[in-house]
A = this chain, B = another copy of it.
C-alpha cells in the first residue's frame, strides 16, 4: 500500500487557508517528499505525519515557493532526533541552493546527500521507490517525477511444496535470491514465484507548460498530480507567459497519458471558486479532482486486500 498526501495546493505564495504545493508519499516504512516550500513542515504536522522519517526529498526547481521551507524542515528533523541520512535530488545548482540555505540550519545531526540531476531524464532508486526525473518546460530548469513501487510476484505455495523446497529458503526466494542447500541443490525464485504483478505509479509535475515528456512519463499512472495554475479562459496568455498551465491543459495531459486519476494543484493566489470550472474539465478527463490541502489516498495494488 502506498499512501500519498497532497500537503498543500498553493502556487507562488502560501495563504492562510492554503499551504504551498508539495507531496508526501509513504511506502513500506520509507517517506518521500516532493518540494518543500514555506510551511511544508506545518502541513506535515497538520496531517499528523512526521518529517523525521523522510529519507528522500525531490526538488522540482528552486523558486522559493518550492524550496523555502527546507531550513525549517531540516531543523525540525534535527529536533526530532533524526540521525539517518537524507538524500536530496534536484536540478543543476542543488549544492549552491542547499548550502546557502544551511546558513540558518547549521550543525545537523544527520548527513545530507546531494544528487544533482544534469540530464533530461534520470532513473534512480531510493528506499523502495523507483524514481524517474524528467525535464519539463518552465522558465527555469524544472523536473517532474514519477514514483513507482514494485509488487513482488505471488509466492506459489503449492509449487514450493510439490518441489520439496525447504521452508528455510522460502523467504529468500520470495525476495529474488537464489539459494543453495548443503547438498548443493540450487533453488531459484522462478521455481516458486508466479507471473509479474503490476506495481503502483504516481507522477507529479509542476511548474510547467504542457509537454510531450509529461505524457510519456505520466503514462498509465495510477495517480497524476499536475499543476493547474489557472482555470479562467482569459488567463491563457498568463499561463503561456509565466510557463504555467490551465486546468484544461492538465486534464488533456491526463487523458493523453491514460492515467487513472488526476489531482489539480498549485493554484494561483487569485483563483477563487475553482469548483465551478470542474464540470467542463471533467469532459476532458472524467476522473479529475480539485486538489485540497491534505487530500490523501491509499493506493492499493490490484486485488490487494483491504
A69 lies within 8 A of chain B by Cβ: yes
Residues of B within 8 A of A67 (CB): 104
Residues of B within 8 A of A14 (CB): 39, 41-42, 72
Give the distance in Å from the alpha carbon of A281 to the alpha carbon of B42 in the complex.
30
A230 lies within 8 A of chain B by Cβ: no
Q: Which of A23-31, A93-101, A122-130 contacts B (4 or more CB under 8 A)?
A: A93-101
A68-B68, A72-B68 given; A97·B101 CB < 8 A: no
Interface size on A, residues (CB 8 A): 31
Residues of B within 8 A of A16 (CB): 42, 45-46
Minimum Cβ distance to chain B for residue A70 (Å): 9
Q: Which of A57-65, A157-165, A180-188, A215-223 contacts B (4 or more CB under 8 A)?
A: A57-65
Interface centre among A65, A72, A100 (most CB of B within 10 A): A72
Cross-interface CB contact of A104 among B15, B45, B63, B103, cutoff 8 Å = B63
A227 lies within 8 A of chain B by Cβ: no
Minimum Cβ distance to chain B for residue A91 (Å): 13
Interface residues of A in 34-78 (CB under 8 A from B): 37-39, 41-42, 45-46, 62-65, 67-69, 71-72, 75-76
A39-B42, A69-B38 given; A13·B75 CB < 8 A: yes
Cross-interface CB contact of A71 among B45, B64, B96, cutoff 8 Å = B64
Give the distance in Å from the alpha carbon of A68 to the alpha carbon of B72 in the complex.
7
Minimum Cβ distance to chain B for residue A36 (Å): 11
Give the distance in Å from the alpha carbon of A13 to the alpha carbon of B79 in the complex.
9
A295 lies within 8 A of chain B by Cβ: no
Interface residues of A in 179-202 (CB under 8 A from B): none
Taking A15-B42, A38-B72, A39-B39 as known contacts, 20 extra A-B pairs with beta carbons closer than 8 A to each other, sorted by chain A number, are: A12-B79, A14-B42, A16-B45, A16-B46, A38-B42, A38-B68, A62-B104, A64-B72, A64-B75, A64-B105, A65-B72, A67-B104, A68-B69, A68-B71, A68-B72, A68-B104, A96-B103, A97-B104, A100-B101, A100-B103
Question: What residues make up the interface of A, taking CB atoms closer than 8 Å to B?
Answer: 12-16, 37-39, 41-42, 45-46, 62-65, 67-69, 71-72, 75-76, 79, 96-97, 100-101, 103-105
A to B CB contacts below 8 Å, 10 in the list: A13-B76, A14-B39, A15-B45, A38-B41, A38-B69, A68-B68, A68-B69, A68-B72, A100-B101, A101-B103
Would you list the 10 A-B pairs with minimal beta carbon distance, nearest first?
A16-B46, A100-B100, A64-B104, A38-B72, A100-B103, A64-B71, A68-B71, A14-B42, A68-B72, A13-B76
